[in-house]
A = this chain, B = another copy of it.
């Protein structure tokens, strides 16, 4: 393998979860493309930070300082839904059912992976809640982290952090049977949640 190829492999390994083999596969696939296609992709990556950035308030992807959701006057500013990733935000937006604001933490607490609370956007969340409570009497903080170990840890951390904050009501996304799933094959925790969250 020649030096330039090795250098390309090293560069592509900057992408998360991409090892040397996948990087090599990427390069070989890219070599099949036209010059113009490569230039388009290359320029998009070069200019990425000018094209896309993170909203200064909620950390959603945005074209401007403030994202479409934060700058939308019709959104309910007394509701703040906290989630792990931008892709989660997109899933909730697609339902069209939620009309409040968001806060993207940037991941979930997982000390084994080096994801300590300091690396997530808790400080920014505290600051934001403070400014929201100044304008609104009651803020609903909806915890929407994932129903797995890291997500549950993060939810607990959030509860501890804000349980005594005046004017902040904590809620969590409903838990129970997933639509289209089968009672027969549901695990015990899911069934327990389904019973607990019944209405």
**Chain A residues near B (Cβ < 8 Å):** 1-2, 4-5, 7-8, 11-12, 14-17, 21-22, 24-31, 33, 35, 37-49, 51-54, 61-63, 67-68, 85-87, 90, 93
Contacts of A86 in B (CB 8 A): 1, 24, 28
| B21 adjacent to A15 (CB under 8 Å) | no
| A24 adjacent to B63 (CB under 8 Å) | no
Smallest CB gap from A54: residue in B: B31
**A15, B17: Cα distance in complex, Å:** 14
Contacts of A85 in B (CB 8 A): 28
| B27 adjacent to A16 (CB under 8 Å) | no
Contacts of A68 in B (CB 8 A): 2
Q: A122 to nearest B CB, angstroms?
A: 18
| A31 adjacent to B46 (CB under 8 Å) | no
Partner of A48, one of B8, B16, B24, B46: B8
| B31 adjacent to A53 (CB under 8 Å) | yes
| A49 adjacent to B29 (CB under 8 Å) | no
Q: A170 to nearest B CB, angstroms?
A: 27
Contacts of A40 in B (CB 8 A): 11
| A38 adjacent to B48 (CB under 8 Å) | yes
| B29 adjacent to A16 (CB under 8 Å) | yes
| A44 adjacent to B8 (CB under 8 Å) | yes
Partner of A61, one of B2, B35, B46, B61: B2
Contacts of A48 in B (CB 8 A): 8, 27, 30-31, 38, 42
